[in-house]
Structure formats: structure tokens, C-alpha cells
A and B are shown apart, each in its own frame.
Chain A
Amino acid sequence: MRSFLSSLRHSPLLAIGIAIVMVLVVIAALAPVIAPYDPIAITGNSFETPSSAHLLGTNDAGADIFSRLVWGTRTSLAVAVFATTLVLAIGVLVGLVAGLRGGIIDTLLMRLVDVFLALPGLPLLIFVAALVGPSLGVSILMIGLALWPQTARIVRSQTLSLRTRGFVDSARGFGAGPLYVIRRHLLPALGPVVASNLVFVAGAAVTIEAGLAFIGLGDPIAVGWGTMLNRALENPQIYLGSLWLWWLLPAGLALTLAVLGFTFIGVGLEPRFNPRWSRSL
């Protein structure tokens, strides 16, 4: 804990990142309390300008934009959590198996990782999302499938490193089962490295999901920031007057904030493995 606090002091980025994400988590958790209205309820006239009743006005149907913005936090964080979990599951599994088993299995798995890394990510995502149909679940699944290979690589290399330093083999020598070795030695050592990686994954997942929704490949009924951008831009009025200031801008800024929050944490965590960064940031 003390070392964590000291790393916060040494890396303001980490502190800022954590603060941002914490705030978003609180907003998401308290969405029903913070948001004045049900985000899908029709609570005003259409296109009301900001007022005390509707802080960011209302959208084309007459729903409260501020409430939708608040609830949108949930969508983004849910994507971050689920996609990251998926990446964690696949990545750690493949990485561990490759690293521990070695040999032909390692080679095959790593070739698979290479293939996934070489794929044209976004074109493929768009292609699949458009054909399979818009849904949050599909987006999360696709994002998870796109992002796991890096994690697998990292886990594998750490596993190899631990193996070469004899932890594993000596433990095995004492008769420990493979699960015990994994739980006792590998996972604790992997934790910090994987954590940094996963924070980046979370940021990327949030951007990708919003990006898909932005180009019209998200579920337009869902309450999310990318969907808000898409819907605002499809409305010709967005090009006139100042409507964009409260319909387009807040959703984009919220999204940017979330992504920056994750990125700052990721970068902030990095120096602990790479002292150079703690000096330069």
C-alpha cells in the first residue's frame, strides 16, 4: 500500500487516471440517483435548450440528454469490464498454456497470436458487426476477440521468465501440482504486468465500442456515448446553431475523459516496470 501511494506521488498521471476512472465508476453506480430522469422516458418537448429542468436540453424525441449522458457511463464501463474480462480469460489461458507447456503447443499458439495480431482490426470488426447486426453483446465479443493476443503474449513471456528463473521447476520438484504452481507463483508475479496491459485494453474497448456505435453499428436504442454521437450527427440540425454544444460535445468529452483515464493509469503503471518512465514523467 505504501509503495502504491508513493507511486501515486511519483506519477501524477496515475493519480489523475485513477481519479477519473473512480469518478466514472461512482457516476455509473449512482446513475439512478444522479440522473434526474429515466434516460429513455419522454420527459420534455423535443430539442429543448438547456434549462434547470433539463441541464443539457432534450434530444429529438424529448428525452433528457443529461440523463442519457449519465446512464451512458454504464454502457462504456460495462463494455470495459466485459471486454477486459474476456481478454483476461483468453489471454491468460493461452499465455499460460503456451508458456508452461512449451514445445509444439507453444509454437502453434504463438503462431495463432501472430495471425490475430496481423489481422486488419477495424475493417474486420466493421465487416462482422454490420453482417451480424447491431448489438452490444456482439460488439463486446468482437472487441474481446480482437484484443486478447497481446495479453497472451505478455503472460507467456512472463511465464517463461519465471520458468527460467527456476521457480516453477523447483516447486514442481517439491511435488507441487501445476495448479498450485500457477496459483502460488505465476499469478502473483503476473498480476502487475497484466494489470497495466488490461487497463489499456479497457481504454481501447471503450473507444472501439463507441467508434462502432458512431458509424451506426451499435444498437441505436441503447443509451451510450457513441450512440449519442451518431444520433446527433444524423440530425441535420446539429449543423445549425449551438445544438451541438449540448448534444454532441458532452458525449464526446465524456468518452474522451474515460479513454484518457484508462490511458493515464496504464502509462502510470508502466514506470514500475520501466523506471525510465518514472523519471521522465
Chain B
Amino acid sequence: MAIDKNNHLREVLDTHKMHHVQDFVNKVKNRREEIKVKMHNHFGNSKYSSFGSGSFAKHTAINVKFDFDLVEPFKHSAFNTLQEMFDSVYDFLAEEYKNTGVTIRKQKVSIGVSFPIEEGDEKPVELDVVPGRELNDENYPESHDLNLCFNEDHWGFKKGSSQKTNIQKQISHIAGKTSEREIIRLLKIWKKQKGKNYKSFVIELAVIRALDGYKGDSGLWPRLKYTVEYLRDHIEDTSFHLYDPGNSNNDVMATMDSYDRFSFKTDMESMLVNIDSDPDIYLPFYFKVNEKYSGYKEKDTGSPYPSSPKRFG
């Protein structure tokens, strides 16, 4: 029987929902709370209230890949430089978790905190602490604008340089966009399963752009197909820009070089051609159900593969 594309994609989404890993999510949340308290106790009035960000906060997380970020907005007067802010947060966390088995490492704009893996868990609890500083004294409560510190050379910026952003605006940009979020999650599932390195933020903004004003069939497959066609037709175009909702001067597409744009376009093209040619085979290939949480069909483990010697070298 031919595959029902909408049903299949629904199953893909369902089996990648976060509630399947709720116990683990709770552990991460507890750790996030722990860090939040430590940061508050240490930095006190030098900063504003921290808040959660990342794919979990945006409701675009999938249970095979998700980010829990903790944004720490600092007052402008707290540090002379952004690098000083970044290093202070790193030094504090490194000291706080010294000799506990917790790994603290400097990343592009955040400090990665990785707790030791616990028995029964597949992976360790990991969190990113993102320090940001308000642009001017007492500007943050009203604007929510922050300057992040680029700790390493990135996108042509040098160490210690800044990038203005507004994480609240980024979160609210996607808030309420349930339909878009489903397509974003499907493409993130594809990205994870196929080991693609495209930035999730690009996918997120591009899907919202693609489905802006979409009036077609509301099924998952028509929406996904429409989006994939849009990406195929636009992503390689040098005049195609996607601006960070938190900073309209920041063109997120500028982070994608021409090779990556071409690769993305080719991936979208191949996906469409192949699914069109044989959806029964190719749709589950590009969008695979997370068998671990699938209660609908029997897992085909235990069968020998291949059944006959047909592969040679």
C-alpha cells in the first residue's frame, strides 16, 4: 500500500517529541536552575534576570538534538569589556565546578557546561550559558538588546568583538507559529539524520519566510513540499537575505558561503526529485521515524541484512 505522506510525517514528528525524554529534560532543567542560582548569588545586582533560550524555548527542539541555553543579561556597568564579561563567567563556572567532573569550555558566544553522564542516560546533561551585556546603562529592561561576545574568530569578527542581538525578539518571532514550527522540526530531523551542517537558525528563518502568507493545503506534506521548493528556488540566490529578528543589520545568510548555499539547494532538489519518483522508499529515507519511540509498527531488528550476497567489492 502506498505511503500516506501526511501520516508518515506526523509519525516522524510525534516520535521526535521531547516528552519521550521527559526524565532527561527534567534533569537538564534542574541543572539549569542550579546554574541560574549560582550565577545570581555570585553576580547579584550586576545582572538582570536570566532566562531560557535555545530550541527548547523556541519549541523547535527534537529529542535527538536539542539545546538548553541560559542567557545571562549583564548590566553595562558590570564590565569594562565584553571579553572581560565572557572570561569572568567562564572563570566563575570553572571555579564553581572545579573537581566535580563537570567540563566547562569556551565556545563561540557561550560557555558550555557538560555534566558527567549518569547511569541509564545515553548522553550527558549539557547546557550553554550565554552572557550578554546591555548596550547602554539601563537600556535592557526596555529594549532587551544585548551585545554578545565573540570569543573566537567567527564570521570575520575578531576575538572580543561584539554582535548585537535580542534573544527575546528571536523567541517571539517564532512564538505562535505552530505550523512553521512543525516544518522547522521536520527539517531539523532531516539535518540531524543526514549529518548536515546547515545552521538551524537559517532553517528556522527560511521556513518562516517560505510559509509567510502560505494559503495552500494545510497537510504536513504540502507544507513541507512548498517549503522545500521555496528553499530550492531561493537559497542559492545571492540576493536572498534572512535578517536576525533580534538585529535587522545581521544578515544570517551571510554566514553561509556559496558552496553551502549550493549544497543546500542540491539537497532540496534531490529530496524533491527522489520523493516524487518513489515516495514509499524515499520519504522514510529522508524523514525517518524515531523507532525508539514508535509504537505503531514492529521494529525489524534481528533480520539478517542483506538476505543474499548482492553487495560486492
Do A and B associate with each other?
A: no
